[in-house]
Amino acid sequence: MSEIPYAKTLAALDALHAQDPRSVEVAGEAVPRELWHAGRMSAWLERLHERPDELVSLAVRGQHLQRWQVPRSDYPEGRVGYLTWRRDQGQRAGETTAALMREAGYANEAAEAVERMIRKQGLGREPGSQAVEDCACLVFLENYFADFARQIDHDRLIRIVQMTWKKMSPQAHELALSLPMSDAARGLVEEALGS
């Protein structure tokens, strides 16, 4: 595959990420939240894999694509509602990323492979799907876990950490344990892993 389809697809993904009306402050500047999130996903992929495959790189970059368009609040409360929302988001992001890839010149097989990775099909067996999951878990632990921990009751939080941990590869476990965390957050992770 040439660099042109990859560069075109990456630019198209980031153009959609940049439309996120929500923002985060980075070095004193407002950055579209989804664009920032996609950058964190790619940064973790580079730490997980020295030379990531371009299809895996695109799947990781497209994993959160246009999530703001269908908020979690549009779905019922609870685990079933959350899992349905997450499945629907993966389906949408996968389809959109695959369409962008085809427009950029990728073969249908490559586009479908990335779509499966974004939907996390074959998790635990397929390296691309595992890479997407590992990056998503690491971004969560690095950037959202501390705030999340203040909103969820203790026992539920322990179960969430345990479920997250089960989905991660051994290499992602090592990286997660090296993250800077508050004493409280690290205590929760250690409790969850010791249970």
Q: What pLDDT, in 10s, does the model give residues 92-136?
A: 999 999 999 999 999 999 999 999 999 999 988 999 999 999 999
Whole-number pLDDT of residue 181: 82
pLDDT, the chain, mean: 92
Domain ranges of the chain: 3-194
- The pTM (predicted TM-score) of the whole model is 0.91
**3-state DSSP of the chain:** CCHHHHHHHHHHHHHHHCCCCCEEEECCEEEEHHHHHHHHHHHHHHHHCCCCCHHHHHHHHHCCCCHHHCCHHHCCCCHHHHHHHHHHHHHHHHHHHHHHHHHHCCCHHHHHHHHHHHCCCCCCCCHHHHHHHHHHHHHHHHHHHHHHHHHCCHHHHHHHHHHHHHHCCHHHHHHHHCCCCCHHHHHHHHHHHHC
Consecutive 10-residue runs of the chain (195 residues): their mean pLDDT?
Answer: 85 97 94 96 94 96 94 92 93 97 97 97 92 95 84 87 92 91 83 80
Whole-number pLDDT of residue 2: 54
